[in-house]
Amino acid sequence: MTLTPLGDAALLVTCAAQPGAEASAAVHALAAALTAAALPGVHALVPAYTTLLVHFDPRTTDVARLSALVNSANSRRPGHSPGDPPAALRAKPAAAAARRWHIAVVYDGEDLAWVAAQLGCATADVVARHSAVEYAVACLGFAPGFAYLSGLPANLHLPRRATPRARIPAGSLILGGQQTAVMPLAMPSGWHILGRTDVRLFAVDRAAPSLLLPGDRVRFVPTDAADLAGAPPRCEVLP
């Protein structure tokens, strides 16, 4: 783990050299430990593929003080060092329980046939490949509630569109490069549209505005258009 200031109001914590499941686990565990520790002056934690960015108020704290606190919170993280975790961390688990979401989607996107043609398979094969696997939320970014999902099978990797679309509808299930996602808001996108869901990925009037959080698992459930309306996402809490 290395700590480097990013300007005078943020500390970049690098948890791994390469992205992957292990890197994500380390980033999410550190984020959970720092959330539980409620460090003074910290106003945001932004997990990414290999890093956690700690935004702080330079009026309240500084890089040296915060680095010491981050190192200390990390070393007290359960599983990191032998011995019982301190009471504060036992009372509030450092790693939130993992969740698995089942999201109903209709695979009728305007790019589905084109994607199948590019991959040299039937549209049913695209659907089968895309819905067969479980994805992991590596991080959120680009837009509110936009989750970068890792785990897209290699036989669905495709370059993005040469010209992005100016606006695609909220709820679009999309694929681009080595990633897949659901568009939370109507926004520009250069990814290919495979289908749609009516699950609201982001809503400011909910207690939890973003449906998906870093570390969550996601499965897409192929659904008939007639059955989509009102189908709520199902959430399992994983042991």
Partner 1 sequence: MTHLRVEHAGPATTVQDAGRLAWQHVGVSPAGFADPLLASLANALVGNPPEVAVLEWALHGDTLRVVGGPVRVAVAAWADVRVDGHPAPTFRSLRLHDGQVLTVGPLQQGRHGVLAVAGGILTPLVLGSRAVHARTGVGGRVLQSGDCLPVSADPARDTPDRRLPPAHLPTPANTLRVLPAPQLPLFQPNALPLLLAQPWRVLAGDRMGLRLAGPPLALLPGVEPVSEGVVTGALQVPPSGQPIALGPDRQTMGGYAKLAVVVSADLRHLAQLRDGDAVRFVAADLTMAHAARSQAHAELEAALAAIHFAHDVLPFESGRLLRLLS
CB-wise, 86 or 177, nearer to partner 1?
177
| Dihedral class, residue 83 (left if φ above 0, else alpha if ψ from -120 to 50, else beta) | left
DSSP 80-148: TBSSPPPHHHHHS-SSPPPEEEEEEEB---TTHHHHHHHHTS-HHHHHHHHHHS-EEEEEE-SSTT-EE
Residues 23-82 that bind partner 1 (CB under 8 A): 31, 43-53, 55, 58-59, 62-63
Instruction: By CB under 8 A, name the one of 168, 214, 220, 223 that touches partner 1.
Output: 214
Stretch that binds partner 1, among 12-20, 76-84, 96-104, 114-122 (CB under 8 A): 12-20
E strand or H helix that includes residue 32: helix 21-37
Amino acid at 211: L
CA dihedral 161, 165, 167, 172 (to 10 degrees): -30
* d(C-alpha 71, C-alpha 62), whole Å: 14
Q: Binding to partner 1 by residue 19, rule CB under 8 A?
A: yes
What is the smallest separation between the CB atom of 67 and partner 1, expressed in angstroms? Answer: 11
CB-wise, 12 or 116, nearer to partner 1?
12
Q: Which residues does 48 contact at the CB level (< 8 Å), separation at least 6?
A: 27, 138, 139, 141
CB-wise, 118 or 178, nearer to partner 1?
178
CB-wise, 164 or 222, nearer to partner 1?
164
CB-wise, 105 or 183, nearer to partner 1?
183
Instruction: By CB under 8 A, name the one of 127, 139, 194, 199 that touches partner 1.
Output: 139
* d(C-alpha 14, C-alpha 11), whole Å: 10
Q: By C-alpha distance, which of 135, 136, 113 is closest to 125? A: 113
Q: x/- contact string, 166-195, with partner 1 (CB under 8 A)?
A: -------------------x-x--------
CB-wise, 104 or 147, nearer to partner 1?
147
CB-wise, 5 or 222, nearer to partner 1?
5
Q: Binding to partner 1 by residue 86, rule CB under 8 A?
A: no
Instruction: By CB under 8 A, name the one of 73, 210, 216, 228 that touches partner 1.
Output: 210
Amino acid at 83: G
By three-state DSSP, how is residue 64 classified? helix
- Interface with partner 1: number of residues (CB under 8 A): 44
What is the smallest separation between the CB atom of 170 and partner 1, expressed in angstroms? Answer: 11
Tell me which residues touch partner 1 (CB under 8 A).
4-10, 12, 14, 19, 31, 43-53, 55, 58-59, 62-63, 139-146, 148, 185, 187, 202, 204, 209-210, 213-214
